[in-house]
Structure formats: structure tokens, C-alpha cells
Amino acid sequence: STLGGFSRDDAAEFLASFIPKKQAHEEPRVSFLIGLDGCKEAGRVFAAYNDTPGVNRKFVKHGLERANTILGYEAFELDKWDVQGHWDAEKGCHNQFYVPRIDVTRSRGVIPAGRQILAIKSHKYDAEDREVLCRMAGLEIVDLWSSDEQYRNDVRMRYLSMEFCLIHPTDIPMDQHRSYTDLLIIGAGPAGLTAACWASQYSNMSTRIIDEKNSRTETGHADGIHSRTMEIFESFGVADEIRKRAADDIEMCYWSQNNQTGNLERKKRLQLQPDNISRYKQTLLNQGLIEQTLIDYVNSIGRVCVERRRRAEKLEIASEDADHDFPVAVGVRNIDENGIPYPGSPEVIHARYLIACDGAHSWTRRQLQVPTETKSESSTWGVIDIVPITDFPDIRQSCAIQSSEYGNIMLAPRENRLVRLYIQLQGTDELEKEVLKQTESSPQALVKIAQQTLKPYNLTYKHCDWWSLYPV
């Protein structure tokens, strides 16, 4: 319960506080047992905290009873308050709130009905979280016990799975912390996770994958999946999961201005690829959902887990004439959620092979002094994902829209009623200058630019999911 109530960083700091400041190697080592809620399945978490007899709600309401006791009067009438729980999938945390059923008047104002007041946070720890927690605390897992499948799936009891870990400080001091693996993957985007899916097929090969980010991509970034990529996903058995969520990208519509009226007209509609290329069509889906599908697959195999908030800082490769089983050495440091390194020397990971999947501005590429060959047209495009409100007839089709007066637009339909717009910016009028400032009003300015290009059709939006600028 104590660990679940901490933030993940604070939980690691709390565990680390039990390690003696100085510990001679020959002295008996400190070992202790911790318990962690191991379930992150939304349905089971909901069932556990919303039991029919209401035991959990009564437990949480003890906080209000305790407040009344401290204050010396009934400041909180329990029958006017409810307890609500919500699962935060992004943070792997179940939050419980006090919620007034009616407006409640206090000396400093009114608490409106329905206002959520946080009561309890309870973080859950799957296998990946557990490894990260112990590593951040400078601990290693000696043994592990978890409730069996029958206990976890007993619908009558509706308990969460519980895991117990026997842990003690790692053998190797931080300034000498070295580890060995067959394969190290830097970057847990779609490319790195696909490599991890492949590596997880081999039980006799050790693999580690590290990434700086706190979590997978949530919004934006790349969204197109080619047919051949779908075939690769099918080899892992996850293509159907992708297709269920994705938007099909079958045809491209081409629009341009009428020379006489200046209004847009559809000029042609073409199939994007021949039918005989692949059994799969091109699809469009948020990068984060693609990543999550691959993460779920890797976790189901159980041989590889993503190590989050780990930054590679130094890369050394043994010379070609050296006889070395692990020729690649990478210095890796733990960082907090703001990207600030934790104190202490980095871990040195020795690997037989390294796969760099750390993006267009690759750190690995820079360390190896491999130049990036690019050709720039010196143009900037605004990219925005919105739920549109429009009368444009091809809003759910991929479109190439040309306008000699206002620039060009590429349009792509997405999942969950989203539409992505790529909008060419020339930087000349006031709206484009507002976009380039990258302020809170930039998304509205981007959509207004698109509205000019789309006339006589109208375009506004209900929700902006993500936006960015891309130099090309």
C-alpha cells in the first residue's frame, strides 16, 4: 500500500533509503520483502475497487470520518458524499476521489456537486515497471512470487494479482556497474519495438531495449502503415489488432483551383496501390497505438521489456582486430521525468550487437560520426490532427489539394474521427507568422489557413489532438 501511494520516482527513492550508505562487500547484505499490485488490466482493476458490498467505498470514506474527528464536528456529512474511482492507463494508476452528490457549502466557498477531490492514488506495477523500480532504487530482485492464475481469475473474489519480491542491493557498486547482453536496442518507437518483437522469438538470445521517454507516444507523429509493414505485423500475429483500430487508406483524391472561379474542384480520384501487391491495404493509425500493440506483444512473450527513462550517454566500439565477444559498450544513465540524470555513475552495457532506432536526429549516428544525407527544399509545413467540422466532401479520403494562392494541403483520415492536415507555410501573411511563433493560438491559425485553401468549403474543428511544424 505504501509503495502504491508513492509516485514512481518517490517509491524508488523510498526503497533506496533502506540501503546502508557504506556497505563492505564481505558483510551480510540487507534483504527485504516488498509487495506490489501486479495488475494493470482496466476491467479487473475496476472490479476490485467497485465491489458490490461497497467495502472499498466504506474504507475510503474513513478519510472523511477522520477529518470530522480532527475538526471536532461533522464538517462532512457522509450521506452527501460519494466515492468514485478512475483508471489512468497512461500512468498505470487507479485514482479514487471524494465527490459531493449535491452542492456543499464550506466557510471558504461552495464545492459544486460532481467536483472530484483526490483521496487515494494507487500505482500498479507490471513486470516492466517492477524492473525499472528496482533498478532506479539500486536494487536487484533475488526471488519473486505471484498469485497463481486461478486466484487472479477468480471472479467471485475479484482481487488484484499480488506479487512479492525479495530484493537486496545490487552486487556491483554504481561506479563499476556493468552488464552483458547479446543485443541492445536504443529507442522504443515503432522501429525499436519491431526489432524487440523479432528478438523476443529467440529464447537463447538476451535482449535489452532502452528509451528516454516516460511512456509510449501519446499523440501525433508518424501515422502511415504500408502494406509490407502490415505483412511484418502479421508475422507477429498483431496485424488484425492494428486493422481494427486503423483507418483504411485506399484512394487518393486530387483537388485544385478552378481558374475562373478560384474555388476548389476535384480533378481525379485514383487507387493508391494495385490490388495484387499485397493482401493488406495501406492504413493510418496513431503512432502511439502502434507502439502499444507492439509493447503488448513483447510483454506477452516475456523475454524483453522496455526500460524507460534510460539515456545512452557514451558509446565505444572495440577495434576490428580486437578479440572481443562483446565489442559494443554503451554508458546508460537513469533520468527522472524531466530528463535530469540521477546521481552516480552510469551503467555500462556490453553488447554483441547494437541496433539504433533513436530517430532522425539519432544520438548513435552522431557518436559514430555517420553523416545524415538530406536534400532540403527550405519549406515549412504545419501538421495538425483535429476532429473537423466541415462540409468538404472528401474529408474521409486522402487528398492532395493544390492552391497557387494559399499553398498546398495534404489530408489523411485517421482513427476516432480524427483527420490529419499537412499545410504548406510560406511565412508571408499574419496567420502564417502566428503559426511560426508556436503559441497557444497557432493551431487555430493553422486551421484558418486551411480554410482559405478549401474555399468555398468551410472548416473548423471540435478537438485538436496534436500539432507541430516540420521543415522539409
Scanning 361-417, the segments in alpha helix (DSSP H) are 363-367
Q: Which of 383, 442, 393 is nearest to 224 (CA)?
A: 383
Return d(Cα 220, Cα 238) in angstroms, integer.
21
Residue type, 228: R
Query: What integer pLDDT is reported at residue 14 of this predicted model?
Result: 84
Query: What integer pLDDT is reported at residue 197 of this predicted model?
Result: 96
Pair type for strands 207-210 and 306-307:
parallel
**DSSP code per residue over 9-48:** HHHHHHHHTTS-SS--TTSPPP-EEEEEE----HHHHHHH
Residue type, 368: L
Cβ contacts of 372 within 8 Å, gap of 6 or more: 360, 365
Q: Is 404 helix (H, G, I), strand (E, B) or coil?
A: coil
**Phi, psi (deg, nearest 5) at residue 446:** -60, -45
Burial of 375 from C-beta contacts in 10 A (0-12 / 13-18 / 19+): exposed
Query: What integer pLDDT is reported at residue 174 of this predicted model?
Result: 41
Query: What integer pLDDT is reported at residue 323 of this predicted model?
Result: 63
Find the helix or strand (DSSP H, E) in which 192 lies.
helix 190-199
- What's the CATH superfamily of 380-471? D-Amino Acid Oxidase, subunit A, domain 2 (3.30.9.10)
Pair type for strands 178-186 and 207-210:
parallel
Cell numbers standing for residue 44:
479487473
Return d(Cα 260, Cα 165) in angstroms, integer.
75
Delimit the domains of the chain by residue range. 2-123, 172-223+286-373, 380-471
**Per-residue pLDDT of the chain in tens (472 residues, 90 and over written 9):** 578 888 888 888 888 777 765 544 445 466 778 888 888 887 788 778 877 778 888 899 999 999 989 989 888 888 888 888 888 887 888 999 998 888 888 777 888 888 889 999 899 888 778 878 887 777 777 777 776 554 443 333 333 445 566 665 554 344 447 888 999 999 999 999 999 999 999 988 999 999 999 889 999 898 899 999 999 999 999 999 999 999 999 999 999 988 888 888 999 999 998 888 899 999 999 999 999 999 999 988 888 889 999 999 999 988 776 667 889 999 998 888 888 888 766 788 999 999 999 988 899 999 998 888 776 667 789 999 999 999 999 999 999 999 888 889 999 999 999 999 999 987 677 888 888 888 889 999 999 999 999 989 999 998 999 999 987 7
Instruction: Report the topology of domain 172-223+286-373.
Output: FAD/NAD(P)-binding domain (3.50.50)
* Other C-beta atoms lying within 10 Å of the C-beta of residue 76: 19
Cβ contacts of 264 within 8 Å, gap of 6 or more: 255, 256, 257, 258, 401, 403, 453, 454, 455, 456, 457
> By 3-state DSSP, what share of the chain in percent is helix, strand and coil, each rounded to 5?
25, 35, 40
Note the pTM of the prediction, 2 decimals.
0.64
Cβ contact 182:202 at 8 Å: no
Cell numbers standing for residue 334:
537513469
Return d(Cα 95, Cα 86) in angstroms, integer.
5
